[in-house]
Amino acid sequence: MNPRKITNQIDLLGVIDWDRTVFDSLIPLPDGTTYNSYLLKGSDKTALIDTVEPGKSSILMNQLNQVPEIDYIVSLHAEQDHSGTIPLVLEKYPNSVVYTSQKEKPMLLDLLPEIDPDRIITVEDGGELSLGDLTLKFIYTPWVHWPETMSAYLIEENILFSCDFFGSHLATSKMFADEDPLVLASNKLYYAQIMQPLRKFVSKNLEKLEHYDIDMICPSHGPIYNIPEFVLSAYDEWANGPSKNMVMIPYVSMHNSTLRMVEYLMSSLCDRGIIVQPYNLETATIGQLATCMIDASTIILASPTLLGNPHPLLANAISLTALVKPKAPFLGYIGSYGWGDTVSKKIAQMAAPLKKDVLPFVTAKGYPNEAVKKELDDLAQQIYEKHTELGITK
Ligand code: FEO
């Protein structure tokens, strides 16, 4: 892909990584991703904002063959998908220097030890860098999603370069997001897995950005937001909005006993006007689970007993929940056993660090009998009342 013009003085460089399927050896990328790099051509100086994943360096370096000089490399985030090609750019432009945050400099040197420390200049929160007729103002936006992350704001054109903040893992040749629902879905998936665990920082950084007029947001993954409100309002809703009248049920079932409990509870919840989203953990992706956690008010874990323990797939789901830190205030457990309930106590211990309001557990010896169904109805009623008490009705 050749460089593409965003404005008269800004080009989009970088890589569309159509084939990438996983990030951090954890996060599935159903739609690939992009590593965006931005070239700013001021009247006096030229700056490159972020680079690309080191395995894709050759694409960026080919694009730079058309660029005679780069004075400044602005590094907004030390993670290698954005910083990994900085050493090659420094080598190609021997007079260039890196501008980055105070916290990022040592991280860059740890991750890319080939960089000469004397070629890294640190900037303070609110500091500015002049390119002549263009000026970048640096805005520290920590913990979206590493401690050193910052954004850069182009004062003359009201453009925010946000790096991972507001990004989407979406390989597309479409340069602008417009108000495309596919971009929003991809953005929500990205938020769910990367930003959701840090939503308090997301909120603080959204507040910080309220002081700026923003006409365009250029993230380092996915399309550019030419209608910033499209993504800003979505982030505000996801980070600050209330959870919904929704119950999420991650479940696993070996001989359908737990599945019958899940189905009965689902029906009972639906009768009370509550949205229910079950996920069979044999096939559900981390992305599906994390995305549902943005909205759910109650999480009901469901698993049979396997060798005296919860099924490992459910144990994984609890670990994921601990990582994601969903806003859901309520948590419960339902499940079956063959000859003894040895799981409830273990689930209670595993769920304790999640700091949720724990609902009564419901267990069944084999298939749910009438007494168990009554307990499931009681559980559904209790969820309905708890949601109603909190005003969660939508
Ligand atoms: Fe896109 Fe945190 O790297």
**CA atoms of 70 and 42, how far apart (whole Å):** 11
Range 360-374 average pLDDT: 97
| Per-chain mean pLDDT for the chain | 97
Give the per-residue pLDDT at 394: 87
Residue 1 has pLDDT above 90, yes or no: no
pLDDT, one tens digit per residue, over 206-237 is 999 999 999 999 999 999 999 999 999 999 99
Give ranges for CATH 3.40.50.360 in the chain.
246-388
- Closest-CA residue, ligand 1 atom 2, reads 79
What is the atom index within ligand 1 of the atom nearest the CA of 194? 2
Q: What pLDDT, on the 0 to 100 scale, is given for residue 243? A: 96
| Residues in contact with ligand 1 (CB, 6 Å cut-off) | 77, 79, 81-82, 145, 164, 220-221
Tell me the percentage of the chain whose pLDDT exceeds 90.
Answer: 98
Q: What pLDDT band is residue 393 in, cutting at 50, 70 and 90?
A: confident
How confident is residue 282, by pLDDT bands cut at 50, 70 and 90? Answer: very high
Ligand 1 centroid, distance to 312 Cα (angstroms): 30
Q: Are 359 and 382 in contact (CB under 8 A)?
A: yes
pLDDT, greater one: 84 or 27? 84
Interatomic CA distance for residues 13 and 224, integer angstroms = 12
Residue 26's pLDDT band (cuts 50, 70, 90): confident
Whether 116 has a pLDDT exceeding 90, the answer reads yes
Q: How far is the CA of 362 from the centre of ligand 1 (A)?
A: 41
Minimum CA distance residue for ligand 1 atom 1 = 164
Mean of pLDDT values over 28-53: 97
Q: What is the 3-state secondary structure (H, E, C) of the chain?
A: CCCEEEECCEEEEEEEECCCCEECCCEECCCCEEEEEEEEECCCCEEEECCCCHHHHHHHHHHHHHCCCCCEEEECCCCHHHHCCHHHHHHHCCCCEEEEECCHHHHHHHHCCCCCHHHEEEECCCCEEECCCCEEEEEECCCCCCCCCEEEEECCCCEEEEECCCCCCCCCCCCECCCCHHHHHHHHHHHHHHHHHHHHHHHHHHHHHCCCCCCEEEECCCCEECCHHHHHHHHHHHHHCCCCCEEEEEECCCCCHHHHHHHHHHHHHHHCCCEEEEEECCCCCHHHHHHHHHHCCEEEEECCEECCEECHHHHHHHHHHHHHCCCCCEEEEEEEECCCCCCHHHHHHHHHHHCCEECCCEEEECCCCHHHHHHHHHHHHHHHHHHHHCCCCC
Section 7-28 average pLDDT: 94
pLDDT number for residue 369 = 97
> How many angstroms does the Cα of residue 82 sit away from the middle of ligand 1?
7
Between the CA of 5 and the centroid of ligand 1 the distance, in Å, is 24
Q: How far apart are CA 151 and CA 375, in angstroms?
A: 52
- Give the atom of ligand 1 at the shortest distance from the alpha carbon of 149: 2
Q: Which atom of ligand 1 is nearest to the CA of 35?
A: 1
Q: Tens digit of pLDDT for each residue in 294-313?
A: 999 999 999 999 999 999 99
User: 85 C-alpha vs ligand 1 centroid, how far in Å?
Assistant: 14
What is the atom index within ligand 1 of the atom nearest the CA of 80? 3
CATH topology of domain 246-388: Rossmann fold (3.40.50)
Protein residue closest via CA to atom 3 of ligand 1: 79
Q: What is the pLDDT of residue 139?
A: 98
Q: What is the mean pLDDT of residues 37-44?
A: 98
Measured in Å, residue 295 CA sits from the centre of ligand 1 at 24
Domain 4-240 has CATH 3.60.15.10: yes
CA–centroid distance, residue 164 to ligand 1 (Å): 5
135-140/128-130 β-pairing: antiparallel
Quote the CA–CA distance of 190 and 221 in Å, as a whole number. 10
On the question of pLDDT at 25 being above 90, the answer is: no
**Residues 130-164 pLDDT 10s:** 999 999 999 999 999 999 999 999 999 999 999 99
Query: What pLDDT digit, counting tens, does each position of 238-260 carry?
Result: 999 999 999 999 999 999 999 99
